[in-house]
Amino acid sequence: AEATIDFLQFPNQTLSYRGGDCDDLTTLYCALLESVGISTAFITVPGHIYAAFDSGLSVENAAKALADANDSILHDDRLWIPVEITLVKDGFLQTWAKGAQEWREAKMAGAANLYEVRPAWQLYEPVGFAESAVGIIPPAQDQILAAYRSELSRVSKAQVSKRAEELRAEIERGGGATAKAQNKLGVLYAQYGLLEEARAQFAASAATGGYPPAIMNLGNVEYL
C-alpha cells in the first residue's frame, strides 16, 4: 500500500492565510460547525476530501423538507449534507449540489467513505499548537448577517420551488379551493422562514374568501 504525507493547516492558520487546499478548508469548515454544536464528518473520494454535516432530519422528514432527498447521505440512521467546501465562493447551493454529485459517483464506484469527526476524537489525541495568536479580523457582523440571510433565502426557495409550483397551479385554476390553496402556499413559505412570501399568500387568501386560517396565520407572521 502506498503512504502519503500531507501538511495540514490548523483552522486559524487557514483563516490567517485566507486559503488552503481541500483538507485545510474541510478542517476549518468542520471546526466552525463543531464549535456551535453541529456534528460533522469528513467525506473521502479518490484523491479528495470534503465535508458533511448532520442535518438533524429523520428519513421521513427529509422527504418533506428537501427538494431531493438524494442530495443527502444516509449513514448510521442519520442524514448528512455533503458540502464541497473548495467551492467556497460559489454559495451553499452549489457546494451542496457538487458534494452530493461527487458522493453519488464515488459511491457507485465503491470508493466513497464518510468518517464522523466526534468518534475520531475518541481515537486520536489532540495535537498541541504552540504558535502565538494570529490576528484575524472578521468581517463586520451586519455584513455576515446580510450574507447569511441572503443565502438562507436562496436555499429555502430552492427547497420549496417544486411544491410551490404545484400550489400556484392550483391557485391559477381558481374555484372554491383557491383561498385554501393560497393559505397552504403561505404555510409552506412560512415553514422555511420566507415570511414576506408567506404574508402575501395569507393576505390574498384572507381577501379571497375571508378564510379564517389565513387570517390567523397573518397574525402569526406579524408575531414572528
The model's pTM is 0.85
What whole-number distance in Å separates Cα of residue 14 and Cα of residue 159?
32
What whole-number distance in Å separates Cα of residue 118 and Cα of residue 198?
38
DSSP 180-216: HHHHHHHHHHHHTT-HHHHHHHHHHHHHHH--HHHHH
The pLDDT tens digits of the residues spanning 127-179 come to 877 666 567 788 899 999 999 999 999 999 999 999 999 999 999 988 778 99
Mean pLDDT, range 183-209, rounded to an integer: 93
Beta partners for residue 54, in sequence order:
80
Give the per-residue pLDDT at 18: 87
Task: List CB contacts of 33: < 8 A, sequence separation 6 or more.
Answer: 39, 40, 53
Q: Which amino acid is at 171?
A: I
Give the per-residue pLDDT at 117: 96
Give the per-residue pLDDT at 134: 63
